[in-house]
Amino acid sequence: MKGCPCYRQFGDEKVCLNYDDVVPINAISIDPSFFEQINHIEELAEFKSDKESMCYLSMYLDRKGGFCYCISQGQKININKMDVRAAEIDSALQFVTTTDRNRDGVVCSDCLYKYLRTLGQASDGYLTDSEREEIVASYVKDISTRMAAELSGYSETSYSGEKYEQHVRSYIKKLNQTRTQWMSLTMKLREKNGDKILTELVDHYRALYRLEAIFLFQVLSLNEPLDESDSLGTLRFMVGISEKVIQLSDMIREKTLDLLERKALSVDLQESLRKHSEKRKETEYKFSNLVKVLGEISAQSSP
């Protein structure tokens, strides 16, 4: 893959931090497709540079052995006296968005290094519990804030300030209004002894909008100063909400298929559900990605 957590640039000087050393290097960017033919670590020798200062800005993730290798030097990547595992890089990539890449598509080295030194195995003995909790809180806030912006359709690049909060609060208000409409429809169906599956489907949509509103409200609360910050508690709450959204989405999908197969939906209701179904799929996709990222942070942060 393109990018390396050991690469650093200070002004015009470029250095490698592998094995906790600081070695001046000459870095060149090579398309990762050039190394696609590598199938085993023994084949790295063919690509090893004869210059110790040469850096290809590329890593080889050995899925069989489970470790990461510097292609230009043919050696393991080691940080804080610990060999970096391929699984750790996979986890770190969950945090590296497209905005964290440069024009050449190189994965943000600082981002990878920061993850490995804060949540990876290389963090052992590097951070105090309070420092780790502070970083976890920062991760949760950053990821959740981006998610809230996507859900609410906020198009500005800055996710802080009154404009952002007003936009999200306005969106929460719309969600609550829609939730009230679903609740009203649920009550009508129950009063008329309507189709049980249809009633459950409508109620699931009500619950889905409720959970989305709760999530967004929680994101906004992350900006409020707290005397005792329970970042891990907030993290687990976020993961729980995300998992419930995914579960509800699955139930909505199953019940919708059941109703369609039984032809128990009117044309008007089908059209109404179709519009909400499109939004549900987008919401489900976003929360599925979020639960992977937050779940990974939770796993790495748990004692």
pLDDT attached to residue 116: 78
Same domain, 184 and 273: yes
* Residue-number span of the structural domain to which 239 is assigned: 145-301
Is residue 8 within 8 Å of 17, Cβ to Cβ? yes
pLDDT attached to residue 104: 43
Task: Tell me the average pLDDT of the chain.
Answer: 83
Same domain, 149 and 290: yes
pLDDT attached to residue 8: 86
Query: What is the distance between the alpha carbons of residues 240 and 243, in angstroms, rounded to a whole number?
Result: 5
Q: Is the residue at 206 inside a domain? A: yes
Q: Is the residue at 274 inside a domain? A: yes
Q: Is the residue at 132 inside a domain? A: no
Same domain, 76 and 154: no
Burial of 170 (0-12, 13-18, 19+ CB in 10 A): exposed
pLDDT attached to residue 151: 92
pLDDT attached to residue 227: 41
* DSSP at 84: P
Q: Is the residue at 203 inside a domain? A: yes
Total domains, the chain: 2
Q: Is the residue at 29 inside a domain? A: yes
Is residue 164 within 8 Å of 149, Cβ to Cβ? yes
Is residue 100 within 8 Å of 108, Cβ to Cβ? yes
Same domain, 177 and 250: yes
Same domain, 220 and 278: yes
Q: What share of the chain is helix, strand, coil (3-state, %, to 5)?
A: 60, 10, 30
Same domain, 261 and 206: yes
Residues 6 or more apart whose CB falls under 8 angstroms from that of 189 comprise 195, 198, 199, 202
Amino acid, single-letter form, for residue 37: Q
Mark out the alpha helices in 64-161 (DSSP H runs).
86-93, 109-118, 129-152
pLDDT attached to residue 33: 80
Same domain, 159 and 296: yes
pLDDT attached to residue 83: 93
Same domain, 84 and 153: no
Stretches in the chain below the pLDDT threshold 50: 98-105, 227-229
Token pair listed for 129: 């519990």
